[in-house]
Amino acid sequence: MAQTVLGTLRELQEADLRLRALEQKKAAHDRSAKVMASQIEQHKREIEALRQKEKKARRVADEKELEVRSKRDEIARLRQQQMQVKDNRQYQALQNEIKFAELSISKIEDDILNDYADIEAVQGQVQAAQAELARQEQALAALRVEIEGRKAEVDAEIEASRRRREDIASQLPPKIVAQFQRIADRLDGEALAPVIRDEEEDDFICGGCHMTVTQNTYVVLAGHSSDRLVTCPNCTRILHLED
């Protein structure tokens, strides 16, 4: 019985691994679309941040333009006062204020030119980012079409693989299937492992965890003398002999 059960269990593991691989394949497709969609959302946030940066730079430039106009009005007022004063000292004081205002205007205008250069640079970044966003959105749309096109095929493979697994499992006692399932869920489907002879060390090892198992384990499996399953004492995988 043990050999028959082991043979069926090995078929079950093969079917189980196949099913897991297909489900992971389907999940990977969904994940790739979600990752790309997340990247697109991040890209949109970056574009919005650039636009806010442009708005802030433009607002600062506008405030400086207002300051320039205010200083020009101040200069006009000072020149008007110059025309009314008769004292040379007062005239010179007003002239100094005018020169100071003109210097301030010159500096502010230089700043404004730098601000507009920054605005143009940000606008270039926005345009480049929008072009990249359009490319990413096209790539996501193409990926979704591809996923949808392959979905029916993958789903059909998964269903066929699940039916095969259930058919094999139905040939085994429920208790053994439950034991297999517990180990498979814990070890990514690898519920069985071969006992390997280590010629150099004259030992037997578990092909799953590579820890030593007793010679008696090998004898039991080789002699078909037990109708119970033998498990690795370290990893709990169900053991069988190598082909």
Q: Which DSSP string corresponds to 114-129?
A: HHHHHHHHHHHHHHHH
0.85 surpassed by pTM: no
What is the dihedral sign for C-alpha 77, 78, 83, 85? positive
Give SS3 for 243. Answer: coil
* Tens of pLDDT, residues 165-207: 999 999 999 999 999 999 999 999 999 999 998 777 778 999 9
Q: What is the dihedral of CA 201, 206, 207, 209, to 10 degrees?
A: -110
**Pairwise CA distance, residues 116 & 122, whole Å:** 10
**Pairwise CA distance, residues 23 & 25, whole Å:** 5
Give SS3 for 240. Answer: strand
**Pairwise CA distance, residues 119 & 111, whole Å:** 12
Q: Give, rounded to a whole angstrom, the gap between the first and last alpha carbons of the chain.
A: 18
- Residue 7's pLDDT is what? 87
Is the confidence at residue 3, as pLDDT, over 60? no
Q: How do the residues of the chain divide into helix, strand and coil, expressed in percent and rounded to 5? A: 75, 5, 15
* Tens of pLDDT, residues 41-96: 999 999 999 999 999 999 999 999 999 999 999 999 999 998 888 889 999 999 99
- Residue 152's pLDDT is what? 81
Give SS3 for 86. Answer: coil
1 band by pLDDT with thresholds 50, 70 and 90: very low
Is the confidence at residue 104, as pLDDT, over 50? yes
224 band by pLDDT with thresholds 50, 70 and 90: low
Domains and CATH numbers, the chain: 2-171 (1.10.287.1490), 176-241 (no CATH)
